[in-house]
Amino acid sequence: MLNRRQFLAMGVVAGGAVQAALPFTGIAKAGRKAPALVGSGASASVPPFSVRMPVPATLRPVAQLSSADVYQLALRPATVEIFPGLATPVLTYGGSYVGPTIRARAGRRVIVKYRNQLTMPANSHLHGGHVAPLHDGHPMDLIQPGQSRTMEYPNAQRAATLWYHDHTHMMEAEHVYRGLHGFYLIEDRTERELRLPGGQYDVPIMISEAHVLDDGSLFWDLPDGPNRTVLANGRPVPYFPVAARKYRLRLLNGTPSMHLHMHLEGGGRFTQIGSDGGLLPAPVPLSEVVLTSGERMDVVVDFSAYPVGSSVVLADAVRGPVLRFDVTRTADDASQVPAVLRPVPAQPPVVAERDLVLRIDPNTFQGLINDKTFDAERVDLRVKRGTSEIWRITNNDTNVGPPGGVHHNFHTHLSQFRVLDRDGGPPLPEETGLKDTVRIDPGKSVRIQISFEKFVGRYVYHCHILEHSAMGMMGTMEVTP
Ligand SMILES: [Cu+2]
């Protein structure tokens, strides 16, 4: 019988594009029997487009100092309605299944006092944030039950769609699945002056997933389990009323491990304006939005192309409908999408090049980077503040898991980076801005340029398929003065 770790490992082997039908392929290959989903009752279901998609509330500061906004956020259990009529116990920041949105201004500090009211240790990592090590939410730096912790975010970075989520080592995937996630949006003047769609027409949308049983409980089974339902802002395949005008949609893949390949049914187009690190140099027209776990993409969709009374469905290539936009009214639209958005900032000189190879050991089920599994006591690489490096990250998992291999991505704490090339070819058009999470398909390599600006200390980098980082596909870098 597989233990839980092996079971999860093989589930995640199915972390790619066509995994939904293949969760046990790796186990079958290894000559083992797939375990029964012990304790699984009947799955709750709901016809698509039965419930309205909420927009997460904006968190209000408890104090506004001359140079900082102060917030309080409790990590606490809550009971919410995911499927209509069913009460589902979840883990939350602040009581809501997608935590409240923190809206920060570039150059103005945010201080968050987290209080852990859960029965287990947990923490909060600001994904994409340029922060000091003490405030990063390192996987071993946890807030014990009943304890509080004050985190400071300098916001000395450009406008971008970030998110905060739990990063408890070995528990991060389950904690994020159970609800420990929320948006963190940095705004700045440069972006405001572009007159992109704003206010109620700027909508953060977290795509996640849940397997809810008919008693309302949230079932944690193998990653990408076939009984999971796609959620948008915490509701199953909802609808969202829009006006016939341009909207900015901030799409975030908040699932622990699934890849999303989303399109607008009927051939609609997205105009991508931003990625993990904020605005692109120029808008990119896209027919498909591909997001791996942790990635964000800001797109503009012009609903004036659709008559009032019509609808357009955002759908995933594997899982089907995600969200339906119902065009219910007209509205004025003074927003624009300028042909030039924002150049990528200049980078310091490159002083080193490195290779990082990702793979899963099919015998031990350990996640490996350069043949080493995560050890919090070990520093895997040292970099110097004020410098820049080129890292080539390779996914070596072509011969394990389902046909085609295991999909990974790569996320660094502290610094956002540029994608230089993919196997010597140009980066994808959608990754021409700053990134902090980049997908790497089996057998492929990506070269990034990463710079170390202000902070010194230890940070992690890892595969953001959270099951893989839990299995040890994570390393430690130390930034030295
Ligand atoms: Cu991975």
Whole-angstrom CA distances from 160 to 185, 294, 400, 448 are: 6, 14, 36, 19
What's the pLDDT score for residue 215?
94
Q: Write out pLDDT tens, residues 265-305.
A: 999 999 999 999 999 999 999 999 999 999 999 999 999 99
Which strands, in side-by-side order, build the sheet including 181-187?
99-105, 181-187, 160-165, 125-127
CA–centroid distance, residue 179 to ligand 1 (Å)? 21
- For residue 215 the two structure tokens come to 């008693």
Q: Is the pLDDT of residue 398 over 90?
A: yes
CA distance 319 to 255: 13
Q: Averaged over 449-477, what is the pLDDT?
A: 96
Residues 6+ apart with CB under 8 A from 64: 70
Contact 194, 334 (CB under 8 A): no
Distance 409 CA to ligand 1 centre (A): 6
Q: What mean pLDDT value characterizes the chain?
A: 91
How many Å lie between the centroid of ligand 1 and the Cα of residue 289? 20
State in Å: Cα 468 to ligand 1 middle. Answer: 5
Position 176 pLDDT exceeds 90: yes
Give distance in angstroms: CA of 399 to centre of ligand 1. Answer: 14
How remote is the CA of residue 210 from the centroid of ligand 1, in Å?
Answer: 20
Distance in Å from the first CA to the final CA of the chain: 49
- Ligand 1 mean position, distance from CA 445 (Å): 14
What is the Å distance from ligand 1's center to 413 Cα? 16
Ligand 1 midpoint to CA 49 (Å): 32
pLDDT beyond 70 at 356: yes
Residue 357's pLDDT is: 98
Pick the more confident residue, 222 or 435: 435
Residue 407 Cα to ligand 1 midpoint, Å, equals: 6
Question: Does the pLDDT at position 334 exceed 80?
Answer: yes
pLDDT at 222: 65
C-alpha–C-alpha distance, residues 286 and 292, integer Å: 16
Instruction: Specify the pLDDT at position 380.
Output: 98
Tens of pLDDT, residue by residue over 181-200, are: 999 999 999 999 999 999 99
CB 413 within 8 A of CB 455: no
For ligand 1, the distance from its centroid to the CA atom of residue 375, given in whole angstroms, is 17
pLDDT of residue 347: 86
User: pLDDT tens digits for 3-41?
Assistant: 344 434 443 333 333 232 222 222 222 222 333 333 447
Q: pTM of the full predicted structure? A: 0.92
Distance 239 CA to ligand 1 centre (A): 32
Distance, in Å, from the CA atom of 410 to the CA atom of 460, rounded to the nearest integer, reads: 11
120-130: per-residue pLDDT in tens? 999 999 999 99
CA of 263 relative to ligand 1 center, distance in Å:
24
Residue 349 binned pLDDT confidence (cut-offs 50, 70, 90): confident
Rounded to the nearest angstrom, the distance between the alpha carbon of 293 and the centre of ligand 1 is 10
Expressed in angstroms and rounded, the spacing between residue 138 Cα and the centre of ligand 1 is 18
Among 172, 221, 178, 175, smallest CA distance to 4 is for 221
Pairing of strands 388-395, 320-330: unpaired
Q: 149 CA to middle of ligand 1, Å?
A: 30
Mean pLDDT of 306-332: 97
Residue 419 CA, ligand 1 centroid: distance in Å: 18
User: pLDDT band for position 223 (50/70/90)?
Assistant: low
User: Ligand 1 centroid to 209 CA: how many Å?
Assistant: 18
What spacing in Å lies between the alpha carbon of 463 and ligand 1's midpoint? 5
Residue 457's pLDDT band (boundaries 50, 70, 90)? Answer: very high
Residue 400: its pLDDT value, please? 87
CA of 270 to the centre of ligand 1 (A): 28
Residue type, 368: L
Cα–ligand 1 centroid distance for 12 (angstroms): 8
Over residues 406-425, mean pLDDT? 97
The answer to whether residue 45 scores a pLDDT higher than 60 is: yes
Residue 42: pLDDT band with limits 50, 70, 90: confident
Residue 408 Cα to ligand 1 midpoint, Å, equals 4
pLDDT tens column, 79-119: 999 999 999 999 999 999 999 999 999 999 999 999 999 99
The alpha carbon of 473 and the centre of ligand 1 are apart by a number of angstroms equal to 7
**Ion ligand 1, residue ranges at CB < 5 A:** 408, 463, 465, 468
Query: What's the average model confidence in pLDDT over 132-136?
Result: 97
Distance CA 396, CA 359 (A): 5
**How many angstroms separate the alpha carbon of residue 143 from the centre of ligand 1?**
26
